[in-house]
Amino acid sequence: MRVPDGIQPLTGYREWHAWTDLEGMPVLMSLYRPAIWPRWEAMKASCLKTDLGLWVRGRPAGHRAPDGSCQCGLYAHRFPDFEPVAPNAPHRYVRGLVLGWGKYVLGSLGWRAELARPVAILSSPGLEEWVEHAADLYGLEVATSFPGLRTAA
């Protein structure tokens, strides 16, 4: 899924686990839940609370993500100079540029969106091969740093 015509997407920066699936293919996985980002398509947010069937006091059971009263949605930093996740072997992380659209909650340092899609990924020492392969599979630009990356879809 591309960004729909006429929509000006949010631009953001985020990290993923540099994961490898059972077929040995690189996958981008969210940091804080085991969600694999689809290739060539947008990731769609769902609320983890409803996924788990939890009932939360004072809130209807289930809402479209993200919701201002919840923590759900696809997260991104608004600025490229965010603090990366600390290295934690054997976990490996990659950073990239994402576009977000649909419903969203905007904060001063970041945003949460209903739909997001990576458009570029940073090469990372020791992960060069993984990054090249992931870029091919996901249709991403590879860059060495965030400045200079094009931000158009």
> Shortest approach of Zn ion to residue 83 CB, angstroms?
25
Coil, strand or helix at 85? coil
Nearer to Zn ion, 39 or 103 (CB): 103
By CB under 5 A, is residue 47 in contact with Zn ion? yes
Whole-angstrom distance, CA of residue 83 vs CA of residue 77: 10
Helices marked H in 16-113: 48-51
By CB under 5 A, is residue 67 in contact with Zn ion? yes
Nearer to Zn ion, 26 or 66 (CB): 66
Where does this chain touch Zn ion (CB under 5 A) — which range of 31-39, 63-71, 91-99, 102-110?
63-71
Nearer to Zn ion, 49 or 117 (CB): 49
Whole-angstrom distance, CA of residue 4 vs CA of residue 78: 21
Whole-angstrom distance, CA of residue 93 vs CA of residue 86: 9
| Cβ–Cβ under 8 Å, residues 71 and 46 | no
> Shortest approach of Zn ion to residue 46 CB, angstroms?
8
Where does this chain touch Zn ion (CB under 5 A) — which range of 20-28, 44-52, 82-90, 131-139?
44-52
> Shortest approach of Zn ion to residue 49 CB, angstroms?
5
Q: How far is CA 84 from CA 59, 75, 107, in A?
A: 33, 14, 18
Nearer to Zn ion, 25 or 56 (CB): 56
Coil, strand or helix at 152? coil
Residues interacting with Zn ion, by CB under 5 A?
47, 67, 70, 72
